[in-house]
A = this chain, B = another copy of it.
Amino acid sequence: MNGLSAILAPSRFGGDDPAPLYLRLEGAIRDAVAAGTLAPGDALPAERELAAELGISRVTVRKALAGLVAAGLLVQRRGSGTYVAQPPRKVEQPLTRLTSFTEDLRTRGYVPDVRVLSATVAPPTPEEAAVLDLGPDERVSRIARLRLADGVPMAIEAASVPAVHLPDPAAVGLSLYAVLEARGIRVVRATQRLAACNLAAAEAALLEVPVGAAALRIERVARLADGRAAEFTRSFFRGDAYDFVAELDIGA
């Protein structure tokens, strides 16, 4: 017997609230987490136990839990149980400077790390050809990396660079710009597009968040002093772990 169900029960249950059962259960658990009755790391009663004690079906309990897992409030581990999630530390990043991810994290006291997911050379996709201004007979080097802070996945970065600038993408470790710089390629400015999206299964798995979790999708085109595009990068930053900060001036 676990007393938690008893704690959850009175708050929104039993009344003649017309809201769906699963939403009432969701709200009750949200309240318990907000009130501290359920602390990060705490295990919830098993689904079957919750269902039995609340007198509702397990499917309904699962629907409530699914909503909270999608919201990042709970974590479910198969074979183990359901737990209150640890709220991650937020990382801040300035939006108006072209900074090194690695240095950025280090100066903020995190231990940066990177995992190279893939490194290939291939003909450009139509999108790459258009953005990087490449002919169909030229080639692009692609490097996909997973960025971590203190061991926690923070972002996926997939960069495309004309192969003439980066013949060996596998040589890239922490910093793409360091490798480019060593070859005399200096990026001086970039245009960044930023939007929110729900993560698909593949990206969610890499970032260790539930499918559908919110992320920032950032597309960056970096250019040389002469205006030629030298890099196209698409990144996915975990929405629950990253804050971007911008200083704005008054517009015209």
Contacts and interface: CB of A to CB of B under 8 A. Distances in A.
Interface residues of A, number: 49
- Interface SS, A side: strand
A167 B98 CA distance: 42
30 contacts: A23-B201, A59-B59, A67-B211, A71-B212, A90-B195, A95-B246, A97-B250, A97-B251, A98-B248, A98-B250, A99-B251, A187-B250, A189-B248, A189-B249, A189-B250, A190-B247, A191-B246, A192-B245, A192-B248, A193-B245, A194-B194, A194-B246, A195-B239, A196-B197, A196-B239, A197-B239, A198-B213, A212-B212, A214-B215, A216-B216
A211 B214 CA distance: 12
A125 interface: no
Contacts of A242: 195-196
Contacts of A98: 248-251
A192 B244 CA distance: 8
A85 to B, nearest CB: 13
A149 interface: no
A250 B188 contact: yes
Given A95-B246, A188-B249, A194-B243, 20 more contacts: A67-B212, A70-B70, A70-B198, A71-B198, A71-B212, A72-B198, A96-B96, A96-B246, A97-B250, A187-B250, A188-B250, A189-B250, A191-B246, A192-B245, A194-B194, A195-B243, A196-B196, A196-B242, A197-B214, A212-B212
A120 interface: no
Give the oligomeric copy count.
Answer: 2
Contact of A237 (B71, B100, B191, B196): B196
A39 interface: no
Nearest to A98: B248
Nearest to A23: B201
